[in-house]
Structure 1
């Protein structure tokens, strides 16, 4: 059984914020967020119109895709099954993106000038559906930190805002794991080496969008080691938490170990944040791993 020392207070910081445009009445939560806690906003709902509620149907997703994704800077929308749905779905995702931008300005203004590469995602499938169809590497019901095989991050952070929009009352159930320094100490001795030549070749042939650094190689290995370790999945430090409909939550998904266990219908906004845009860069996975490696990783 998971060690009971993980409590909601140790992995979450709760905010009374109930508006996408108003600051947190309790003040800045940047320090807690950068230490790996999940910023939980139980009163921050994203209200859908009747027309938008009608879009919450798995048939709207291309059968070859897991989700519907929208790039607000390019206007590119992918993953829809029927072109007739494009205007309505794009409108919904654009509206959620604008709300998230206002939330950052109000709640985390320190990041406003540094965030880039936004992607907005509409998740319509129940978690149980993609658990059955995914390989273990892609199975996000396994505790993990985010690292992307084709998209090296070069140390940049992955900031995500999640909103449960389930109209049927279902919660989004997560498992949340230990803090990143403890996680890194656990898995670092099991991580392998790095080949600059392999990194260059993978980029040249199009496997990766840019060259993997030592940091990217370590993060990808940690992601895989976590997911493939059955004992860790069952007995590692973790806490189960239910995010009800009408709630939102924010975390650095490259730092906070997490696993989606149940739920359906969610909006998700993702940004990248340079380490130098952080208030406490020493808490970043890059700096933590560099301290263990005893060398620069970029």
Structure 2
């Protein structure tokens, strides 16, 4: 089964509870008409990339919202930082309105401005985000936490953001779990002690990192696995659990993105999390 795209009108007729259940079931929520206008000064950020080119994205992180990876004059960088702070509040409001059952359990992480075309970001196969993958963080173990992301296409010229959506997580995991290396708690402790990782990797973190790499490295799977092309038009906002929905970013310039974390225990159905799905496939609790 391909992950479905669920269109949510501005009035939210689908109902808050059904939206959370749809998300946890592997859907991508698409909001076609949420308002997030750019000021006349801010429109320059969609006319050329205000990025130093050293990283894939420009972003703000933490309470100080320090701007990283930006280019431009001090005035322009201050305005770009303010835009990202405003988008963070927009995403926070969207979650509060349409996913109220998550309440205060949601924690907002990085907010990014993505001005480059996807194809220009291709490096090694591991960093090639056009390939179907699930999100996992090599240096930042998340354990019993979910990755929720809020995206918005701000392209001024009508260019859509192009994605590929893959099959459901459980079907993919059945194919790839048998070929993944075993988990070593000793190795996980060593990586944390050496500060290679910010915390000790759980078995879940270990499996997700290897699933991410195994998926991207398997050219036959990338070419022939169940998948569908999706377009997100300028002005559209979409939300998904990027650790559950297999996706590949295929093209498009100028996008905003907000990452948020949700504890598995705060889901409406924790058994639908990738943590619990992997445990069921293995027939035992994860370490």
TM-score surpassing 0.5? yes
Asked if residue 25 in structure 1 is aligned to residue 18 in structure 2, the reply is: no
Q: Distance in 1 between matches of 2:37 and 2:78?
A: 18
Once the two structures are TM-superposed, the CA of residue 155 in structure 1 deviates from its matched residue by 2.8
Summarize the Cα distance change of 1:57–1:209 in structure 2 as closer, same or farther, 3 Å threshold: farther
Contact 2:46 2:115 in 1 (8 A): yes
Once the two structures are TM-superposed, the CA of residue 74 in structure 1 deviates from its matched residue by 2.9
Q: Distance in 1 between matches of 2:101 and 2:77?
A: 34
Contact 1:157 1:254 in 2 (8 A): yes
Runs of 4+ in 1 over 3 A off after TM superposition: none
Asked if residue 97 in structure 1 is aligned to residue 54 in structure 2, the reply is: no
Q: Distance in 1 between matches of 2:189 and 2:130?
A: 32
- Tell me the residue number matched to 2:107: 116
The 10-residue stretch of structure 1 (206-215 or 271-280) with the greater mean CA deviation from structure 2: 206-215
Once the two structures are TM-superposed, the CA of residue 296 in structure 1 deviates from its matched residue by 2.0
Q: Distance in 2 between matches of 1:126 and 1:81?
A: 17
2:9 to 16, 28, 50: 16
Contact 1:72 1:120 in 2 (8 A): no
- Tell me the residue number matched to 1:64: 54
Asked if residue 292 in structure 1 is aligned to residue 281 in structure 2, the reply is: yes
- Tell me the residue number matched to 2:202: 213
Q: Distance in 2 between matches of 1:147 and 1:58?
A: 30
Summarize the Cα distance change of 1:72–1:90 in structure 2 as closer, same or farther, 3 Å threshold: farther
SS of residue in 2 equivalent to 1:112: helix
- Tell me the residue number matched to 2:68: 78
Once the two structures are TM-superposed, the CA of residue 111 in structure 1 deviates from its matched residue by 1.4
Once the two structures are TM-superposed, the CA of residue 194 in structure 1 deviates from its matched residue by 0.9
Contact 2:151 2:255 in 1 (8 A): yes
Asked if residue 130 in structure 1 is aligned to residue 121 in structure 2, the reply is: yes
Q: Distance in 1 between matches of 2:200 and 2:191?
A: 7
Contact 1:72 1:97 in 2 (8 A): no
TM-score (norm 2): 0.95
The 10-residue stretch of structure 1 (42-51 or 25-34) with the greater mean CA deviation from structure 2: 42-51
Once the two structures are TM-superposed, the CA of residue 25 in structure 1 deviates from its matched residue by 2.3
Once the two structures are TM-superposed, the CA of residue 161 in structure 1 deviates from its matched residue by 0.5
- Tell me the residue number matched to 1:51: 41
Segments of structure 1 that go 5 or more residues without pairing to the other structure are: 18-22
Corresponding residue pairs, total = 284
Contact 1:164 1:171 in 2 (8 A): yes
Contact 2:46 2:154 in 1 (8 A): no
Contact 2:71 2:77 in 1 (8 A): no
Q: Distance in 1 between matches of 2:134 and 2:264?
A: 17
Contact 1:15 1:42 in 2 (8 A): yes
Alpha-carbon RMSD across the aligned residues, in angstroms, is: 1.5
Once the two structures are TM-superposed, the CA of residue 203 in structure 1 deviates from its matched residue by 1.3
Asked if residue 178 in structure 1 is aligned to residue 157 in structure 2, the reply is: no
Deviation readout 1:51-81 (Å, 9 max, x if unpaired): 1111235542122111111125232221113
- Tell me the residue number matched to 1:38: 28
